[in-house]
Amino acid sequence: MRPVRDALAWAEEAPGGDVGRVHDLFLTDAVADRHPELEHRADAAGVRVARVTEKAAAGLSDTVTPQGVVAVCTTVAVDLETALAGDPRLVTVLVGVADPGNAGTVIRTSDAAGADVVVLAGDAVDPHNGKCVRASMGSLFHVPLAAHRDVDAVLDGLRARGLTLLAADGHGDTVLDAGADDLLRAPTAWLFGSEAHGLDDATARRADHRVRVPIHGRAESLNLATAAAVCLYASARAHR
């Protein structure tokens, strides 16, 4: 439900009268009765609205337990140059992250930490994947998002905008503690690899620093979403 609400807000906020961000809203009578604001907001944004049966709503959804509401939207990803316009200070880069749940969760975390841009680089999941959209809990519509297959081109674009490249690496030489504050105050792009394998060596070597989150207990490592939250919030604190 939350992603649909945020998609409608995204449609209402379209700059310069750019209608068409959300094309259609399908919902059951039960959902319409419980959430009349959905139809009102859709009408205000010029979105076509159709009441459908529970069976039809289930057919439109790819979830096991559909909620009875589906929005058909235009794609949200933009090209890399557009996403990086405006001197971003905190950028999240997901390199080869194929799991949609992880990607969506990191997009949500990036939004919460105040990141300016999220980039999915290399052989990463499509950000419009249904599970990714749901895991983002609507943050997909809040943060400029780019998808680019060429990792080197992404890194070159980040450097051209004066961003320091920090590779999240469990074996990195730089420890993410109070001593890293001076480093974190600079405009930063965090590079995160897949849950299973982390960053590939070629990408990690191109980073300015390899940074590890200290493990004080006996856990072998942190999962991707947790590590990303720790790193992004450390940068957010230093920037503020």
Give the number of other CB atoms < 10 A from CB of residue 179: 9
Are residues 32 and 49 located together in one domain of the fold?
Answer: yes
Are residues 86 and 69 located together in one domain of the fold?
Answer: no
Number of domains observed in the structure of the chain: 2
Q: Give the pTM.
A: 0.88
| Helices and strands in the chain, H and E counts | 11, 10
pLDDT in tens, the chain (240 residues): 788 888 888 887 765 545 468 889 999 999 999 999 999 989 888 889 999 988 898 888 777 677 888 888 888 999 999 999 989 999 999 999 999 999 999 999 999 999 999 999 999 999 999 899 999 999 999 999 999 999 999 999 999 999 999 999 988 999 998 889 899 999 999 999 998 888 999 999 999 999 999 999 999 889 999 999 999 999 999 998
Domain boundary, last residue among 73, 88, 114: 73
Task: Look up the domain containing 46 and give its range.
Answer: 2-73
Are residues 115 and 53 located together in one domain of the fold?
Answer: no
Helix (H) or strand (E) holding 27: strand 22-27
Are residues 56 and 96 located together in one domain of the fold?
Answer: no
Domain boundary, last residue among 40, 73, 106: 73
- Here the CATH number for the domain that contains residue 18 is 3.30.1330
- Here the CATH number for the domain that contains residue 170 is 3.40.1280.10
108-131 pLDDT, tens per residue? Answer: 999 999 999 999 999 999 999 989
Are residues 136 and 199 located together in one domain of the fold?
Answer: yes
Are residues 131 and 178 located together in one domain of the fold?
Answer: yes
Q: Which residues contact 45 (CB under 8 A, 6 or more apart)?
A: 8, 11, 12, 14, 19, 21, 22
63-92 pLDDT, tens per residue? Answer: 767 788 888 888 899 999 999 998 999 999
- Position 14 scores a pLDDT of 67
Are residues 121 and 44 located together in one domain of the fold?
Answer: no
Amino acid at site 119: V
